[in-house]
Amino acid sequence: MVSVPLEELERLKDKNRHQARQITLLQESLIQRNLDLDALHFVWCNGGCPSGVHRFVSDVECVTEELVERAERNTRRLRAWYETVKFRVEKYRTVTGWHHDYAERAASKTDL
């Protein structure tokens, strides 16, 4: 039988607890991300999916106030990003070469 020092066992228990907590936090974060994707309608289903329109919402869930609030928040963020890119395209091009390139890279992802 192998004898492991008590300190080593305690260290391993602490490490195990820490890793379990990290996994829990990552799972919770992933759930929130998936709900945000649903709220953005980023992941669409044509209605043939078991969960309906949203990929990450179960059959028993429906469009809730929280889902609508997430969609509104993300839409505001998208609008702010677009307006910032638009501003950069209009104003940054005349500042420096770096600013010009930065504005062009961002604008390449838009219709600007």
Same domain, 12 and 56: yes
Residue range of the domain that includes 90: 64-112
- Verify that 39 and 71 share a domain, yes or no: no
21 and 38 co-located in one domain: yes
C-beta atoms surrounding 66 within 10 Å: 10
What pairs with residue 54 in β-bridges? 44
19 and 71 share one domain: no
Based on the structure, what is the number of domains in the chain? 2
Q: Are residues 43 and 20 in the same domain?
A: yes
Same domain? 96 vs 111: yes
14 and 68 in a common domain: no
pLDDT in tens, the chain (112 residues): 778 889 999 999 999 999 999 999 999 999 888 777 766 665 555 555 555 555 555 444 566 788 778 878 888 988 998 998 888 888 776 678 888 888 888 888 888 8
Report in angstroms the alpha-carbon separations of 77 from 7, 41, 64, 81. Answer: 49, 15, 20, 6
Residues 44 and 87 both lie in one domain: no
pLDDT of residue 54: 56
Q: Are 39 and 88 in the same domain? A: no
